[in-house]
Amino acid sequence: YAKYVNSCVGITVDIVSTNIFGQTVTGAAAGSGFVITEDGYILTNYHVIDGANSIKVTFDDGKEYTATYVGGEEKNDIAVIKVSRTNQSRRTTSAFNHLCLVGTADIRPGDPVYAIGNPLGELTFTFTGGYVSAKDRSVTMSDGTVMNMLQTDTAINSGNSGGPLFNEYGQVIGIVSA
């Protein structure tokens, strides 16, 4: 946990929509993400940032950054956002700690896994653990899309979406989404 929490982020978005009376309303949503490059690219779920008017990213040290949407794919529920921390007076950029992504070919049911996330949008940087329950589990999403997922008994709550799922070596093997 201590080695990798500084690469995990809480994500808060403002969403502007129109209600049934034609009025513009602003709402907020929360999720999780993690840094994948030292220059500030962050991986999360598409549904975390979908419809966002603004995206704020908070690190475990309390520092908050405005993120920009880089790209994503709704069908696979994946998105990339970007933050930077540039010192304008010195025109230098300091690097972010980032996580290592690996494949799941060697993952087996019974392997230990861990998640760091932002459950309920309030319990930031919560650590939970469990085991892989199944691999290549077909899950039908609310829009009818079928996705193959790892199934785990790790405690996952609303707001954990977009956070990393680690193997026992601290490598990211998946993204929490459901």
Residues identified as active-site: 47, 77, 161
Spatial distance between the Cα atoms of 87 and 75, rounded to a whole number of angstroms:
37
Contact 97, 8 (CB under 8 A): no
- DSSP letter assigned to residue 2: T
- Distance from CA of residue 41 to its chain's centroid? 12
CA dist 131 → 5, 10, 103, 128 (Å): 20, 24, 17, 11
Spatial distance between the Cα atoms of 50 and 79, rounded to a whole number of angstroms:
9
Token pair listed for 79: 């998105």
For 104, other C-beta atoms within 10 Å of its C-beta total: 16
Name 5's Cβ contacts closer than 8 Å, sequence gap at least 6: 60, 116, 125, 127
Is 74 in a helix, a strand, or coil? coil
Contact 93, 65 (CB under 8 A): no
